[in-house]
Amino acid sequence: MTNTDLKYSDLKCPEFKYSGTKRYNNYSTFIKSKFEQRVQKVSLDTGFTCPNRDGSKGVGGCTYCNNNSFNPYYCKPQKSISTQLQEGIDFFSKKYKNQQYLAYFQAYTNTYSDFKLLKELYNEAVSHPGIVGMVIGTRPDCINEDIVNFLAELSKDYYISLEFGVESTINKTLDLINRCHSYEETIQAYKMADGKGLDLGAHMIIGLPGETREDILNHATELSKLPIKTLKLHQLQIIKNTMMAYQLKHTPEMFNLFEVDDYIDLMTDFIALLRPDIIIERFISESPKELLIAPLWDGLKNFAMVDKIDKLLIEKHLWQGKYYQTHPEQSSSSEAVFS
């Protein structure tokens, strides 16, 4: 079957039950069903740092990291949370007049500060007109009971998503990229936040140095053991002014960057191993072309990548969870029980 032969009826098969025209749970459908209207994330920069930057655990940060690769123009730590939100809302409302917004604490580690300050910033965000909740990105080693309990209280009135940068389930990889935490700490962070009324998310980088195809597919198995609601995936990108940019120039043998077709094929197999109820938020990242060194995928946009993945899933007769198996430590396909 070629892509041009695909029809809507081909998307329907008795073995899986997903809404719309997808063979996996997608974030857009989830958001629309939850809020019953369009919802836009507004990125925020608090000016916080990370423990592997300020010397408390390490220096230099993660070897792949340059936050300028995803911060929008209005997202500046010199501005207050309210100002950043308003400028973001003003920008997005030009295209969509009637929508709600999520305050997205995105840059660096957004729970890595004094607890009193965190409460002030979070309260400022949810108090802003039009804001229906928050998405908070952080590291698994930068969370504690006080923060979790405070967010749990906020979740009674607002949508709260807490996303951990997992990046890899292999400690050797985490050491190599200077994460300065272990995968065991990741598991404990999810255990701490589980069952508190928060939507828990995970972020994974696909294709980190030293990881084989088998390693990457095993990430899907390990992630499926965690109590995550959402998952962000993206290909490893080499960004200017990072340690990886230096490594690629001087030790290129460290890297095995994906060609487009190979990555698409890998994603379909990854989806088939993933727990069926996990919501997939994205498959790729699009860094600014002036910062991106590699891989150069000829300007392939997210929507085009998603379309290719959708079609290949049909061609390979795959869907989310086809090869997922409940593990002994899990009481059901959607509830992780930690040993």
Q: Strand, helix or coil at 225?
A: coil
Show me where the domains of the chain are located: 3-322
For residue 257, CA distances in Å to 207, 233, 253, 268 come to: 7, 15, 10, 18
The mean pLDDT values, 10 residues at a time, for the chain of 339 residues are: 37 54 92 90 92 91 77 71 94 87 93 95 96 97 97 98 98 96 98 98 97 98 98 96 96 95 98 97 91 89 93 96 74 38
DSSP string, 80-147: -HHHHHHHHHHHHTTT-SS-EEEEEE-SS-TT-S-HHHHHHHHHHHHHSTTEEEEEEEE-TTS--HHH
pLDDT of res. 97: 79
pLDDT value at position 329? 52
**Residues 293/308, Cβ–Cβ less than 8 Å:** no
Give the three-state DSSP class for 236. coil
Region at 85 (left for phi over 0; alpha for psi -120 to 50; beta for the rest): alpha
Nearest Cα to Cα of residue 242 among 53, 73, 22: 53
Q: Which residues pair with 44 in a beta bridge?
A: 105
pLDDT score of 12: 46
- For residues 66 and 241, is the Cβ–Cβ distance under 8 A? yes
Tell me if 150 sits within 8 A of 119, measured CB to CB.
yes
Round to the nearest angstrom and report the end-to-end CA distance of the chain.
45
How confident is the model at residue 84, as a pLDDT?
Answer: 94
How far apart CA 276 and CA 320 sit, in angstroms, is 5
282/232 Cα distance (integer angstroms): 5
pLDDT of residue 94: 87
- The Cα–Cα gap between 75 and 147 comes to 24
Question: How high is the pLDDT of residue 108?
Answer: 86
pLDDT at 334: 39
Q: Which fold has domain 3-322?
A: pyruvate-formate lyase- activating enzyme (3.80.30)
pLDDT attached to residue 18:
62
CA pair distance 85, 337, nearest whole angstrom = 38
Distance between CA atoms of residues 263 and 147, nearest Å: 37
- Record the pTM: 0.89
**C-alpha distances in Å from residue 150, one per residue of 101, 123, 145:** 21, 10, 8
Helix 183-193 with 145-154: angle, nearest 10 deg: 40
- Helical spans, DSSP H, in the chain: 27-35, 81-92, 115-127, 145-154, 171-176, 183-193, 213-223, 243-250, 260-273, 302-315
Per DSSP, the three-state class of 291 is coil
